[in-house]
Amino acid sequence: RGTAGDRVQLRLGRAQARININDITGGKMPEKAEAAVVDFNEVIRIMEADMSSARGTFDYPSVFVRRALAKEEIAYGRRDKTQWAGAVADYTRAINLWRDGMRDSPGNPGLGVNPMVLNFRGNALSQLGKFADALTDYQEASEIFTRDRQLRMASLSHANEGLALFGSGRRSEGMSTMQGLSRRDPGLADPHVALAAEYWSIGDV
């Protein structure tokens, strides 16, 4: 049977293989993503049977992120919007685990919250129409990327902020955000596309 660690690695490997098959087919085999979720469920069960070894590791919260991404693939493949709520819950679990680690070990906070996962949760929240909550995630991600000098990633997060502002009906703020971003990072396509769509919608072309 092997050790618990062996079983975790085998399940993770099989889950990733299933995700890869769905990706190769362009998302036309969501049953593979569903099977991957079953694998991730078992990985979490095994890890939680020995929380002393799982707590504080990167692997434990990362499984929730990977399960959330699999749920997104199901949402697209099955056109099942309920999966977005499940993805948000998993992203939130991972983010909270990272925050707990930072509070419990202030002198050694590890890598902290992964800003990419804040973007992922923001995207899932946007799919649920929760643009105000999504905006908060995008803003935090942008701040972390800026602090880490990952400026293109900060720009992408900032573009997501603009889209969330449009989605929440704050069109003038969305326009201002995208206009400023298009000047600061003219090579980024998203602001130009969003502005073109907005100008078209108001007949200013």
pLDDT bracket for residue 145 (50, 70, 90): very high
The whole-angstrom distance between residue 124's C-alpha and the CA centroid of its chain comes to 7
pLDDT reading at 111 higher than 80: no
Per the model's pLDDT, the better-predicted residue between 112 and 64 turns out to be 64
Q: What is d(CA 11, CA 57) in angstroms, rounded to the nearest whole number?
A: 18
- Mean pLDDT, rounded, for 183-190: 94
Q: How far is CA 101 from CA 57, 88, 112, in A?
A: 9, 20, 8
13 Cβ partners below 8 Å, 6+ apart? none
CB atoms within 10 A of CB 92: 16
CB atoms within 10 A of CB 41: 14
The whole-angstrom distance between residue 108's C-alpha and the CA centroid of its chain comes to 25
pLDDT reading at 55 higher than 60: no
Q: What is d(CA 6, CA 37) in angstroms, rounded to the nearest whole number?
A: 18
- The model's pTM is 0.90
CB atoms within 10 A of CB 173: 16
Q: What is d(CA 115, CA 148) in angstroms, rounded to the nearest whole number?
A: 10
pLDDT at 193: 94
Q: What is d(CA 55, CA 61) in angstroms, rounded to the nearest whole number?
A: 9
